[in-house]
Amino acid sequence: MRCHWISVLFLAVITIPQFASSTWWFLSKFQLGTAANPRMYCDHIPGMERKQRRLCQKHPDHMVQVGEGAATGIKECQYQFRQHRWNCSTIDRDASVFGKSLVKSGSREAAFVYAISSAGVVHSISRACNRGDLLNCACDKTRLGKHHDQQGEFAWGGCSTNVRYGSNFARQFIDARERKMRDSRALMNLHNNRVGRKALHKLMRHQCKCHGVSGACNVRTCWTTLPEFREVGAYLKEKYDASLEVSSDPSGTTLITADHLNDNRKSLKTNPPQVHDLVYLEHSSDYCSFDPLIGSIGTAGRPCNKTSKGIDGCDLLCCGRGYDTRRVLVTTPCNCTFKWCCSVECKTCTQWKDEHFCKPLQSFELNKFNATKQQQQQQK
Ligand SMILES: *[C@@H]1O[C@H](CO)[C@@H](O)[C@H](O)[C@H]1NC(C)=O
Ligand SMILES: *[C@@H]1O[C@H](CO)[C@@H](O)[C@H](O)[C@H]1NC(C)=O
Ligand SMILES: *[C@@H]1O[C@H](CO)[C@@H](O)[C@H](O)[C@H]1NC(C)=O
Ligand SMILES: *[C@@H]1O[C@H](CO)[C@@H](O)[C@H](O)[C@H]1NC(C)=O
């Protein structure tokens, strides 16, 4: 739910007690407008660190894109995890956005959220750059002259997307919080933020135009463009599936891969995670039960697939607690015929279909659920 930025003033007041766990992801909840008075504007956007406020004052016109980028990342996260027990849901009116426990924990899910939101910001800043929406950046001017690809020679031309600018700004803005801390959690976040930025660099595409008489491609002009964000989501999801467990080395300055098969510290040191690996510090919960302490909303009531053996199947998604079946009448167009000329006429067919949902909250979860509801009401 995004609201106009005027309401930022109001929300800033009610969320002050939670500021310790507020995050810049909170910007995704607002439709940020342009700033007549950058200082006041930046002081009233909630969820930002001091250094982030300074960057906001320097580049107030970038904040719209930061908010949009975070929103794009979160939406993509929800798409990629729509069939998982943890489905990337956010908490309304909570400045920590995903719940305090995700911000605190070093889980694989946290790794994904950091990477995809940082990729979201690179994407939206770079796109705005290309459109000429931002004051101090434009097309990538470093791509000049002639080059080669599989199809032969081409000349750089048009407006190549300035992904380097977007990436630099995202790094400065998003990493600001982590740079203040010096612990393994900060190292993990910095690493995963970088994986998100690198994903954009890796997935950039060439687009070309042919010039020549009657369709011949004598001369090609090419430029780089951004990938669809869905592609970035799918790529990072693969990285999530293959993510590596790490810990910080004894000096606390770098991450090393935690290799359980080999307890020899020396060999661990030679094995740092690569720039494209998502990394995590802690094993995740199974996200089966409702438990706000570990940031799990559980899977009660989730639609599931009875025949699937995958994570979207009722067995796995409902954690073996069973499911309820609802019989619903589904209407679909059918027996369509082509009428000359030119329309398609269909009949409507109705059919009973079974839909399955994981069993509702169990009694041991209800106490926690009611307590959380009460707390939320008190905060409002
Ligand atoms: C995640 O699942 C819960 C039910 O457990 C549902 O209420 C919520 O809408 C889902 N969130 C998303 C983003 O799909
Ligand atoms: C349920 O899972 C089966 C097997 O994986 C698949 O063929 C089917 O399309 C799925 N149904 C829905 C509604 O997604
Ligand atoms: C659609 O066509 C099938 C077979 O051709 C027929 O059995 C069925 O009754 C038709 N349905 C409707 C709604 O006309
Ligand atoms: C939780 O609240 C529901 C109604 O909202 C009530 O029926 C239920 O008894 C409560 N459960 C517990 C364990 O307090």
Structural domain spans, the chain: 2-284, 301-360
Amino acid at 368: K
Tens of pLDDT, residues 164-197: 999 999 999 999 888 777 788 899 999 999 999 9
Protein residue whose Cα sits closest to atom 10 of ligand 3: 335
- Between 179 and 42, the higher pLDDT residue: 42
CA distances from 305 to 67, 351, 361 (A): 35, 18, 19
Report the residue among 365, 368, 370 best suited for mutation to probe ligand 4: largest number of ligand atoms under 8 A from its CB: 370
Tens of pLDDT, residues 232-259: 999 999 999 999 999 888 887 888 887 6
- Give Cβ neighbours of residue 312 (< 8 Å, ≥ 6 apart): 83, 304, 305
Atom of ligand 4 nearest to the CA of 370: 1
Protein residue whose Cα sits closest to atom 2 of ligand 4: 370
Count of C-beta atoms within a 10 Å radius of residue 258: 15
What's residue 34's pLDDT?
A: 66
Is-contact 60 38, C-beta < 8 A? yes
Confidence of residue 3 (pLDDT cuts 50, 70, 90): very low
- Give Cβ neighbours of residue 341 (< 8 Å, ≥ 6 apart): none
Q: Is pLDDT of 278 > 90?
A: yes
Is-contact 76 207, C-beta < 8 A? no
Atom of ligand 3 nearest to the CA of 349: 13
What's residue 238's pLDDT?
A: 97
Percent of the chain with pLDDT over 90: 42
Look over the chain and give the mean of its residue pLDDT values, rounded to a whole number: 84
CA 50 to chain centre: 23
- Between 113 and 98, the higher pLDDT residue: 113
337 C-beta closer than 6 A to ligand 3 = no
Confidence of residue 296 (pLDDT cuts 50, 70, 90): confident
297 C-beta closer than 6 A to ligand 1 = yes
Q: State the DSSP H helix or E strand holding residue 350, giving kind and residue range, or none if neither.
A: strand 343-358
Q: Is pLDDT of 153 > 50?
A: yes
Amino acid at 205: R
Q: How far is the CA of 309 from the centre of ligand 2 (A)?
A: 9
What's residue 263's pLDDT?
A: 54
Compute the average pLDDT of residues 9-28.
Answer: 56
Protein residue whose Cα sits closest to atom 14 of ligand 2: 305
Report the residue among 109, 297, 359 best suited for mutation to probe ligand 1: largest number of ligand atoms under 8 A from its CB: 297
Pocket of ligand 4 (CB under 6 A): 366-367, 370
Confidence of residue 20 (pLDDT cuts 50, 70, 90): low
Stretch among 75-79, 116-120, 178-182 having the lowest mean pLDDT: 178-182
335 C-beta closer than 6 A to ligand 3 = yes
85 C-beta closer than 6 A to ligand 1 = no
Stretch among 98-107, 168-177, 227-236, 355-364 having the lowest mean pLDDT: 98-107
What's residue 15's pLDDT?
A: 39
From the CA of 345, the nearest ligand is 3
- Between 31 and 57, the higher pLDDT residue: 57
Atom of ligand 2 nearest to the CA of 306: 1
Percent of the chain with pLDDT over 70: 90
CA distances from 330 to 201, 325, 333, 355 (A): 45, 15, 10, 11
What's residue 327's pLDDT?
A: 95
Q: How far is the CA of 127 from the centre of ligand 1 (A)?
A: 30
87 C-beta closer than 6 A to ligand 1 = yes
CATH of domain 301-360: 3.30.2460.20
